[in-house]
Every structure is written in C-alpha cells, then in structure tokens.
Structure 1
Amino acid sequence: MSTDSLHLGVRITRPVADVYAFVSDPANLPRWAPGLGTQVEEVDGQWFVLTPQGRARVTFAPRNDLGVLDHEVVTPAGLVVHVPVRAIADGPDACDVVFTLRRAPGMTDAELARDEGLVRADLARLRDVLEGA
C-alpha cells in the first residue's frame, strides 16, 4: 500500500447541517464509531471515551459553518492523534463525509489496511444511523 494518507468517504442522504450536528456531538461517538469507544462521558467540559486501552480524551474543532469536524484524540498512553474529517454539502438534502486516515509512524501496510477497514465500517454505520437504516 505504502501511502501516508487515505481519504475515505461516504455519501449520506441528509442535509449537511443535520450530519454536522450529529457528528460534532461527542456523545454520539458510540453510535457510529464504537471502535473509538463504547462509553463516553463529559467531565468539566472535556469529553472522554473508554477504549480497550483505557480512557482517551476527544476534542472536536470549534463549531463552524464550514463542515470541519476535525478532532484530536489523546490516547491513554499520551499519544496525540489528529483526525481530519469534513462534511461537504451536495445540494440541500445530501452530503459527503470525508475522513483522512493517516499512517502513524512505524505502521505497517497490514495495520493501515486494518484501520482502513475499521474507518470504512464506521462511515457506513454513520450513514445507516443518519439515514435510519
């Protein structure tokens, strides 16, 4: 594979504002991205998810009208992972959600392929949740 970044996307038949509102709310993470964590809690204005490795902090970009859903995950080991995500309008009733998956230092092709599969599954789950499937 030998790539440093992959742009993975899904089309969702819902207005971009609805998609943005859902994805930007960290409380919804377990509904569409359970691989990140199945439990989420807010403590003093900060959001945490319980991962198999322990508690991780998740911080989303400030609310905006541009569809920027970037977030930062600080793993239990203290590693900071930047996750670029965009919701891009396609007319009044649909949008694309694009997730940039980046190869971490030392990550093998097999590990990147595994993560790609997980992200694709999360994006499909997001579409299904928002389209009511």
Structure 2
Amino acid sequence: MTVLPSKTLSITIERRPEEVYAYVTNPENFPEWVTSFVKSIRRSGEEWIVETTEAPITLKFVDNNDYGVADHWVTVATGQTILNPMRVIPNGSGCEVVFTAFRQPGMSEESFANDTAMIESDLRTLKRIMEK
C-alpha cells in the first residue's frame, strides 16, 4: 500500500467542544454546514444516504465517544470507501475542528486542491453556525 498525500485543515470555534461534537456527528446537520456538495441526507439502517451535487454517497460515522473523534467513512458511486479523519479538540472555552483529507489514487492535484478548498469553506460555514 502506498502512503497517500494529505492535507490537514483546522478551524478554531468559540463554542464548547461537546456542543460542536454533537452537531458535527449528527448527519442530519450536514446539509446546513457541508454546503459545498451535500443537497440532502436520509438514514438507511446504520448508514446515511447523502444526495450530492454529483452522485449519491453513503456515510457512516464511528460511534460517539468522549475523545472528540468524528471519523467517518464515505462510500462513493464507484464503491470505493474513503476514511475521513475528523476531530473536535478542546481549546480553552472553545475547540479546534481538525479534518485530514487524503489525495486518492488517480486524483489530480487540481481536483485535490478543489476538494480541500471545499472542506475549508465548509469548516468556515460550521464556525459561523456554531458561533451564532
């Protein structure tokens, strides 16, 4: 297996980490803050079906935990499953939300740059929502 190129993105949010964690790990909130590509979402057993701007994907989170781990797996139309590591880390009275994106095999640098730009935009949207 090859080590994939990655980019870790983070944003500081002035809100209690427990509240941010509860919000980001509730897939029903995705259409509110993952606005770069999520159109709608619905539950299907243990997974969630996400209607996106391109094609439906499935989403599955790790179990809720006390450590701020919000990792989730996305299965795309080709059947490939991609791990999206995400953390909500306490920082004083607020928190850091950290997301690591991996450049998948066959993905161009331009496509990866576009993906990470969308993630940055979504993190800024999350910050605006959580700091209201």
> Secondary structure at the residue paired with 1:18?
helix
Unmatched segments (≥5 aa) in structure 2: none
Task: Please give the residue correspondences for 1:38-53 in structure 2 after superposition, counting only pairs within 5 Å.
Answer: 38-53=39-54
Separation in structure 1 between the aligned mates of residue 94 and residue 70 of structure 2, nearest angstrom: 17
Q: Using the TM superposition, give the Cα deviation of residue 83 of structure 1 relative to its aligned residue in structure 2, in angstroms.
A: 0.3
Question: Residues 44 and 107 from structure 1, CA distance in 2 versus in 1: closer, same or farther, beyond 3 angstroms?
Answer: closer
The answer to whether the 8 Å contact 1:36/1:49 transfers is no
Q: Give CA deviations for 1:56-106 in whole Å, capped at 9, x if unaligned.
A: 110001010000000001112211111000000012x20000000111102
Residue 102 of structure 1 is matched in structure 2 by 102
- TM-score normalised per structure 1: 0.91
The answer to whether the 8 Å contact 2:47/2:60 transfers is yes
Please provide the CA RMSD for this pair.
1.3
Separation in structure 2 between the aligned mates of residue 13 and residue 33 of structure 1, nearest angstrom: 19
Q: Using the TM superposition, give the Cα deviation of residue 36 of structure 1 relative to its aligned residue in structure 2, in angstroms.
A: 4.0
Separation in structure 1 between the aligned mates of residue 128 and residue 106 of structure 2, nearest angstrom: 33
Separation in structure 2 between the aligned mates of residue 21 and residue 103 of structure 1, nearest angstrom: 28
- TM-score normalised per structure 2: 0.92
Question: Residues 88 and 120 from structure 1, CA distance in 2 versus in 1: closer, same or farther, beyond 3 angstroms?
Answer: same
